[in-house]
Each structure stands twice: as structure tokens, then as C-alpha cells.
Amino acid sequence: MAVAWWQIILLTLYAGYQILDELQVYTGLAQPVFAGLVAGLIMGDVTTGLIIGGSMQLTVLGIGTFGGSSKIDANSGTVLATAFSVGIGMNPEQAIAAIAVPVAGLMIQMDILGRFANTFFAHRIDTKIEEMDYKGIERNYLMGALSWSLSRAIPVLLALSLGGSFVNSIVSVLNNQLLWLGNGLAVAGAVLPAVGFAILLRYLPVKKHLPYLILGFVITALLTTVFGNIQVLGGSVAGVVEGFANTFTGMPMLAIALIGFAFAFKEYKRTTEAPKFQQMNGSVSEEGEIEDDEI
Amino acid sequence: MTKSNYKLTKKDFNQINRRSLFGFQLGWNYERMQGSGYLYTILPQLRKMYGDGTPELKSMMKTHSQFFNTSNFLNTIVTGIDMAIEEEEGIAGQESIAGLKVGLMGPFAAIGDSIFGALLPTIFGALAANMAVNGNPIGALIWMLVNFAVMFFRWKQLEIAHKEGVSLVTTMQSRLTAITDAATLLGVFMVGALVATMINVRLSWTPVIGDLVIDVQNNVDMIMPRLLPAVIVGAVYWLLGKKNITSTKAIFIVLVVSIALSALGVISK
């Protein structure tokens, strides 16, 4: 058993807290990328946590709980995958596909259970309204927090306490007898973000903004290739030439986001100031001409 | 018809905001969704308005515990407008309030879900995830700061909505449309960028014709770099358009197909 008891307790507490965070203040702690960060901190390997959390984040981008539909629980999946990946030494990308995604899928049932449990409290509140018992209304309302957090904390606790040896045997099989499957899981972990992107595209008005989808893709594809190749070149040259101390960084995503922001800003200007546009064009050029006439 | 003369104070606004921010969805359930949550956020104010133990209070409590579901980022806008009317009309406005709540929850749910459910995660979640897969937590912390900024706005909107009342909905309409339009443009652009960077698989298929080994990935790169990720996303997009394919099913289908293609030696990392 490679996950220590105090780590299990901390991870369980986090799993119970994160769902409440999502329901209320929404600090972001209830996002898979933070689940990875927190679980990584607890397990003492932040990098692995961030890799798993980041990949899960991309996989569920744009899956919101619209109108109370249950979504897959990427957070619990991330917590377990990180714990076992660090604790037992599983490749993070394998852990995403082999642990995080199946766990996230199974946890949907727990979400439904939690949402059902609260119906009971809603009826208790009806009774308390009849009795004019204000404290009772508030008490029964806040009890809802219990069903929410237990629906996440209990499964995580059980899985962490009992799952260690099971995961251990899976890891050894994947790296020996079923190597093709082990590699396949790692590839699947790399492909999964595609689902998150496709869901977002279903949700955003793609047809209306199609030119910008093309621009975003092509600009980034070209730059990321250029940056990537320069890094490879730099690495090779540094290996051959002594005193070559330049390190080349990868493509900064924020720069791409700023290009997109510029397009968006233009669009906003265009839609809000459409009628004024023609008047502004005239005055500027006239001033320029007046100065010429004074010769 | 008793008209309540109680006017909300700064303290009341703070209390509603506290309850909304820290408890609005705790009681979420299938039957009423955010119904009891709505009652919980304004219960102390209802008691001040109608007086403890009065039949008016009981009837209003029942009204406010009915089915309600909107964006949990914009719910206090509805609360603010509702409170403004109740200050004026009291119990006489009961029916119009019930109607108003039902009328407003849909549009605000749509606006809130698209801004807070899709756009912010696309832009900041993508940045955070992009840095995270390289082992860098900075992006995640930036996202957290953005969420705190959102919280600040959630805190402010109650009083604005209370002051402006129903007219707010009409004045906001045109501006919101422009903002949402620009924001979705940025969202679409960013998804394009993400497709090009975040799906790191390549074609490993190298067919041999005679004694010539063809590097398929290399040829594809000459046509358009990052074409394979684009094709994969296109395929999943098409898949999601099929009947009875949920996002969860799509994730598992992608999982199985990726393993199969990897085992056949078509794609690799």
C-alpha cells in the first residue's frame, strides 16, 4: 500500500470539499486542473498531478451541468489517478485512460444519488414552512451539503483504502503481458482532449464564427511547428557547439489568446458602433487636405 | 393586503449575498432544483418584510420554495428584481413575482451557462491546462484570480438589479448580446488554437511500397501541420451530433478507438 493513511484522509477531505466549492463560491478549486494540483501536493509530486489534472481538464472542457444533468466526475477521477500514479508508479498518461476516465464515468451514479438524497430535505423544508420553524428550514437546507460531499468523499475513501493492490497488479500487467494495451492507454490519454474541444464546438456558434476557427487553428499550428522545430534545433546545436547557451522556449499560448482577443474586440466595436462608422471616416482625411492647401 | 414598509439595507444585501455565495445550491435536488436555495437566500428578509408568524409570510415562503433553476452566477439579479417588487407591492405582488421568476430564470440560465460554463473555461481553463501539462501551476492560479473577480461581480449585481428593477433586463439586452457575440468569437478562436497544440498524437503508419518506406506523417505535415488532431476533433464533433450520443459515451468511444488504432500501429504518441 503506497498511499499513506494521512494522504488518504487529506484526499478524501478534498474530494468532499471540491463539490461544495463548485456549487457555491466557485473559486476554481473544483476544476480538474486544481484537483491535480491539490492531489499532487498531497502526494508529493506536483508535476504528475498537473499532467493528469490538465489532461482531464481539457477532456471535460465545456461539459457544464446544464439544467441539472449529471456530468462525469473528472475531479474524483483525477484525485484517484494522481494518488495511484504517484503512489504506485504508474505512467501518468496511462493513469488518465485507465483510472481517471473510468472512475469519472462510474461517479456519475454517485452524483445522481446525491441529487436524489436532497429531495428528502426539500420535503422536510415544506413541513417546516407549515410549522413556521425558520431555524428548521435553514438547518434542513444546509443538511444538503452532507449528501453532496459524502457522495464524493465516500467512494474516494473506499477506492484509496482498498484499491492499492488491485491497481498495483494492473500496472504490472500493462507493462508486461499486455504492453500493447498499456501503450494504447497512453495514446488514448493524449487523444481525450479532442472530446472536450468537440463538445465546446458543439456549444459555441461555430458556423457564425468559422473564419476565426480556421484562423485560430492555422496560426497556432504554424507557430507551434516553428517553435517546436527551433527548440529541437537549439537542442541539437547545443549538443555540438560549446558555449552555445541560448535556450529556446515553447510557443506562449497567451500570445495566441491575445490575437484572439484583438479579433473579439474588433467584433465588439463593430456591433456596438455600426451606425457611427461612416461619419468618422470623413473628418480625418479632410484635416490632412486643409494643411496642403496653405502652400 | 398588507403592504410591508420594510426597505432593504446594506446589511440585508450583504446577508443575501453571503447566503447566495456560500449556500445557493447546497439543497439542489431533482424535484425543485434551486427552489429551497432561493428561499434560503432571502428568508431573513422575508421575515422582516412580512413579520414572523403571519399568514402572508407562510404563503410567500411557499412561493419561494417552488421550482427554480437558473445560472448560479446570475441568480442574485433575479433576487434583486424580486426584492424591489416585494418592497413595493408586498403580498399583492405574489403572482407577478412567481411569474417574473419563471420568466427570468430561463434567459439568465442561458446567458450564465454560456459565459461561465463555456467561455471562461475555454479561455482560462485552456490556458491553465496548457501550462499544467507542462508541469506549471501558474495558469491554474491565474484562473483562480479570474474566478475571484467573477465573485466580486456576483456580489455587486444584487444591488444593481435591486435599484434598476425590471428595466435592467431590457437595457442589458443589447449590450449583453454584443459582449456574448465577441466572447463566443474568442472562444471559437481559442478552440482552434487548442486543437493545434493540445492533442499530441502522430501517425505512425509507414507503409512499404517495394523498397520505399513512406513516412505518412511527414507527408501530411507538408500539406498542413497538425492535420491529424483537426481530423480527430472533426470526427468527435460529428459523433456528438448523432442521436443518443452523450459526452460521456463519446469519451469512452474515443478511449476504445484510440487503443485499437494504437494497437494496430496507426497512431502513436
B210-237 pLDDT tens trace: 888 888 888 888 889 999 999 999 999 9
Phi and psi at residue B214, to the nearest 5°: -100, 120
Q: Does B265 lie at the interface with A, CB-CB under 8 angstroms?
A: no
Yes or no: say if A2 and A87 are a contact pair by the CB < 8 Å rule: yes
Alpha-carbon torsion, ordered B47, B49, B54, B60, to 10 deg? -80
Whether A285 has a pLDDT exceeding 70, the answer reads: no
Give this prediction's pTM. Answer: 0.84
How far is C-alpha A18 from the chain's CA centre? 14
pLDDT at B168: 76
Cβ of A50 and B136 within 8 Å? yes
Whether A278 has a pLDDT exceeding 60, the answer reads: no
pLDDT at B239: 95
Cβ of B189 and A253 within 8 Å? no
Q: How far is A282 from chain B (nearest CA, A)?
A: 26
Interval A251-271: pLDDT, tens: 888 888 899 999 999 999 998
pLDDT at A243: 79
Residues in chain A closer than 8 A to B51 (CB atoms): none
Whether A293 has a pLDDT exceeding 60, the answer reads: no
Yes or no: say if B190 and A216 are a contact pair by the CB < 8 Å rule: yes
Residues in chain B closer than 8 A to A129 (CB atoms): 58, 61-62, 65
pLDDT at A64: 65
Interval B43-52: pLDDT, tens: 999 999 998 8
pLDDT at A281: 46
Q: Does A267 lie at the interface with B, CB-CB under 8 angstroms?
A: yes
Cβ of B259 and A267 within 8 Å? no
Query: ∠ CA A176-A179-A181 to the nearest 5 degrees?
Result: 135
Say which amino acid occupies B47: R
CB pairs under 8 A between A and B: 374
Tell me the pLDDT of chain B averaged across its residues: 88
pLDDT at A274: 62
Tell me the pLDDT of chain A averaged across its residues: 85
Q: Does A162 lie at the interface with B, CB-CB under 8 angstroms?
A: no
Q: Does B21 lie at the interface with A, CB-CB under 8 angstroms?
A: yes
pLDDT at B4: 57
Q: Does A145 lie at the interface with B, CB-CB under 8 angstroms?
A: yes
What residues form DSSP beta bridges with B213?
A: B208
Residues in chain A closer than 8 A to B118 (CB atoms): 62, 64, 200, 203-204
Q: Does A154 lie at the interface with B, CB-CB under 8 angstroms?
A: no
Cβ of A194 and B254 within 8 Å? yes
Q: How far is A248 from chain B (nearest CA, A)?
A: 15
Q: Does B110 lie at the interface with A, CB-CB under 8 angstroms?
A: no
Confidence band, pLDDT 50/70/90 cuts, at residue A16: very high
pLDDT at B60: 92
For A130, which residue in chain B has the nearest alpha carbon?
B58
Overall average pLDDT of the A54-66 stretch: 81
Alpha carbon distance B237, B250 (integer Å): 10
pLDDT at B1: 43
Overall average pLDDT of the B233-242 stretch: 94
Interval B64-107: pLDDT, tens: 989 999 888 999 999 999 998 888 888 888 888 898 898 888 88
> Which of B138, B152, B190 is best to mutate for the A interface (most A CBs within 10 A)?
B190
Cβ of B22 and A205 within 8 Å? no
pLDDT at A295: 41
Alpha carbon distance B120, A66 (integer Å): 15
Q: Which of residues 85-104 of A touch B (CB under 8 A)?
A: 93, 97, 101
Q: What is the crossing angle of helices B138-164 and B75-89, to 10°?
A: 20
Confidence band, pLDDT 50/70/90 cuts, at residue B3: low
Overall average pLDDT of the B10-39 stretch: 90
Overall average pLDDT of the B142-156 stretch: 93
Whether A39 has a pLDDT exceeding 90, the answer reads: yes
pLDDT at A11: 95
Overall average pLDDT of the A226-236 stretch: 89
Interval A69-127: pLDDT, tens: 778 899 999 999 999 999 988 889 889 998 999 999 888 888 888 888 888 888 899 89
Q: Does A271 lie at the interface with B, CB-CB under 8 angstroms?
A: yes
Overall average pLDDT of the A141-169 stretch: 89
pLDDT at A234: 86
Yes or no: say if A220 and B192 are a contact pair by the CB < 8 Å rule: yes
pLDDT at A72: 86
